[in-house]
Amino acid sequence: MITLDDQNALFKLISSYLRKDIICWAFGGTAMLFYGYKDSTKDIDLIFESVEDRDSFITAITEMGYAKKSLVNVYKEDKSKDKNAPLLYSRGDERFDLFVKNIFRAELSSGMKKRFFARHDFAEKKSLILYIVSKEDIILLKSVTEREKDFEDILKICTTDKNISWDIITDEAVSQYKSGDEFVLIDLEQVMLKLKKYVFIKQEYFGKLYKKQK
């Protein structure tokens, strides 16, 4: 398991292996550490804007001893076969989940980029520039990835932070739908229905999703 300090040290070390400057976006447990929503994670979730950037990152971590890992037993079967599935690299119990442009059915949209929570620069040989997505986008993207602990993490965010904007979350899902994929709406709706047992979510937010699915 990796703490925030461990994670920051790891990113700095990776920057010393990079052969070019790279920008990427952190979501999932990686982003949750920066918010303080959790103390440790084993999944380092990153989104790159190009295959070239991801390949450069992979070259660096491979030199550090990380090896490619199968998606089996990490993601559901339909996710593993998705064209936008990540590449997984692990060393011990640490794992990188590396996406390009899309997180399965969800796109790294212009709205997500504008809403980023923080920027962190790790610079040794080259620069690794890390943007942290908003808490609302963490929730939406964890709804899409559907890994074993994702719902627990969503619940943790929603019970820890009372200032979650469901307008942002549902508006982004509708925007993703307009871009051509209704499954983002379906994934989010399923999570919201489970979440409703633990936290209050106004019916109007379900209404936004139902209206688009008709």
Q: What residue spans define the domains of the chain?
A: 4-134, 138-213
Which helix H or strand E contains 25, and what residues bound it?
A: strand 22-27
Which tokens is 96 given? Answer: 């990188």
Instruction: Report d(CA 155, CA 133) in Å as an integer.
Output: 17
Phi/psi of residue 146, nearest 5 degrees: 55, 40
Q: What is the pLDDT along the chain (214 residues), one digit of tens a residue?
A: 899 999 999 999 999 999 999 999 999 999 999 999 999 998 999 999 999 999 999 999 999 999 999 999 899 888 888 999 999 999 998 999 999 999 998 999 999 999 999 999 999 999 999 999 999 999 999 999 988 899 999 999 999 998 999 999 999 999 998 776 678 899 999 999 999 999 999 999 999 887 766 5
Report pTM.
Answer: 0.94
**Pairing mode of beta strands 87-91, 67-69:** antiparallel
Q: Is 211 exposed, middle or buried (0-12, 13-18, 19+ CB in 10 A)?
A: exposed
Q: Which CATH architecture has domain 4-134?
A: 2-Layer Sandwich (3.30)
